[in-house]
Amino acid sequence: DASLQGSPESPKSVVLITGTAEYNRISLSKTIKAYLWEMGSPFLPCKTRTGLLIAKAHSLRMWLKDSAFCMDLELRDVSTLPELNSMQLYEGAFMRAGLVPAFREIHEGLGEVRPKKFAKLALLTDEKRDKFIAADIKGRQEKLEKKKRGGLLNLRKRHKRHGRRLVGRSMPPREEFGASAKKEAVR
């Protein structure tokens, strides 16, 4: 709470070291990433090192302040364990059983996505998620086609504007400018 008000001053970025170890063929890093991304956290994988998740401090503060998942951070003692296990193993990571179909659908349709987009898609209903993924794929294809068409049009416009062609001049061989040419000039 004090950090949200700027005292003490927080660092520019926060690093969460998860490591690359696997326990019983389950990746701790993937499991933590799945949990954090489900909640829409700003932690992203480090581009240069594996096993690190990095978040900008300001983004992390705003997420902690506004996130519905972080409103109640107290740990509560539960006297009984749940009868059914809500966790499921998927691609080397434990995640909520309800999240697995959404996770699979998002990654098959769109591939790797940003955490915020993943959190929004994971919370949508199946129908809305399907429509969103289809629209996203269609939009990507249209953008690619537009770039292809736009690239050809831009080349034509450039030719029309300049009107001149570049003509390269042939350079004399290097030997003429080298040491042998200097010796001849001295004689």
The mean-pLDDT minimum among 15-24, 46-55, 144-153 falls in 144-153
Q: How far apart are CA 127 and CA 136, in angstroms?
A: 14
User: What pLDDT does 73 receive?
Assistant: 42
Respond yes or no on whether the N-terminal peptide bond of residue 8 is cis (omega within 30° of 0).
yes
Mean pLDDT, rounded, of the chain: 71
Q: Is the pLDDT of residue 138 over 70?
A: yes
Radius of gyration of the chain (CA): 29
Partners of 18 in the β-ladder? none
Residue pLDDT, tens place only, 150-165: 765 454 555 455 556 6
Greater model confidence, 66 or 85: 66
What's the predicted TM-score (pTM) here?
A: 0.42
